[in-house]
């Protein structure tokens, strides 16, 4: 096991999906290239990895702006997702992360925080036989501000009832996607208040910048 967790006790683990749990980034790129190629839209591999974590619809809208195109966002999004689903038989889990998931399952809550759609994340986890390992999934459409804004992390932590210093998040940093090296990030600074999640946990973003630096 080469992915090392910080040495402390955590009450929940949050995982990114693409490139962290699932070695899916190359498959997503293949799907993007084919879907966008049908509209004569270039999408360089370097840019694809730089935009890791950006929701699908946001990627298409941004590419429209960059290239002066008018691709129908929902249609291209649906096409890209269907192409990715066709490639799912090739999908494999990232071994180092899988070890931690299996070790923690049933012991503490596990959640997925992803920029992909819930359908895409669910399909990936189902193929890997990991769907039942996660108590919570926060995906594109569940939040308004994409990562690294902490809104998605706050939603996942609130669903587990924990805040400050008790939640650990793992993702693959953008520079490491091609190297397939997931990274253990510093603990998210969440704190549990009372016996359950804070009622305002979904909207408590007044200190966004400070929390974002912890993500």
pTM assigned to the model = 0.76
Q: What is the mean pLDDT of the chain?
A: 78
Mean pLDDT, to the nearest integer, of 62-85? 97
12-23+93-214 in CATH: which number?
3.40.50.1000
Which pLDDT score is estimated for 145?
A: 86
Instruction: Name the CA dihedral angle for 77, 149, 19, 156, rounded to a multiple of 10 degrees.
Output: -100
The two most distant CA atoms of the chain are separated, in Å, by 54
71's tokens: 């691709």
**pLDDT confidence bin for 193, thresholds 50/70/90:** very low
**pLDDT confidence bin for 157, thresholds 50/70/90:** confident
Residue spans per domain, the chain = 12-23+93-214, 25-89
Which pLDDT score is estimated for 207?
A: 33
pLDDT tens by residue, 87-135? 999 999 999 899 989 999 999 889 999 999 999 999 999 999 999 999 8
Which pLDDT score is estimated for 167?
A: 56
Contact 164/157 with Cβ under 8 angstroms?
no
The b/e string for 70-101 (b: 16+ C-beta within 10 A; e otherwise) is ebebeebbebbbebbbeebeebebbebbbebb
CA 107 to chain CA centroid, nearest Å? 22
**In the CATH hierarchy, which top-level class contains the domain 25-89?**
mainly alpha
Judge whether residue 199 has pLDDT over 60: no
Higher pLDDT: 52 or 88? It is: 88
In this predicted structure, which of 10-14, 89-93, 198-202 has the lowest mean pLDDT?
198-202
Contact 111/134 with Cβ under 8 angstroms?
yes
Judge whether residue 156 has pLDDT over 80: yes
């Amino acid at each position: 096991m080469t992915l090392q967790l910080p040495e402390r006790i955590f009450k929940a683990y949050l995982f990114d999906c693409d490139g962290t749990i699932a070695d899916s980034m190359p498959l997503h790129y293949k799907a993007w290239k084919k879907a966008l190629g049908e509209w004569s839209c270039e999408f360089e591999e370097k840019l694809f990895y730089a935009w890791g974590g950006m929701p699908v619809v946001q990627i298409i809208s941004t590419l429209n702006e960059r290239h002066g195109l008018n691709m129908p966002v929902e249609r291209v999004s649906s096409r890209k997702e269907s192409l990715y689903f066709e490639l799912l038989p090739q999908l494999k889990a990232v071994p180092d992360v899988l070890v931690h998931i299996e070790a923690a399952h049933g012991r503490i809550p596990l959640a997925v925080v992803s920029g992909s759609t819930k359908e895409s994340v669910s399909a990936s986890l189902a193929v890997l036989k990991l769907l039942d390992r996660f108590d919570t999934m926060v995906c594109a459409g569940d939040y308004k501000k994409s990562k690294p804004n902490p809104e998605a992390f706050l939603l996942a932590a609130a669903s587990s009832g924990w805040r400050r210093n008790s939640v650990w998040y793992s993702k693959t940093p953008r520079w490491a996607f091609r190297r397939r090296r997931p990274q253990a990030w510093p603990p998210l600074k969440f704190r549990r208040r009372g016996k359950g999640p804070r009622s305002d946990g979904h909207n408590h973003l007044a200190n966004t910048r400070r929390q974002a630096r912890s993500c």
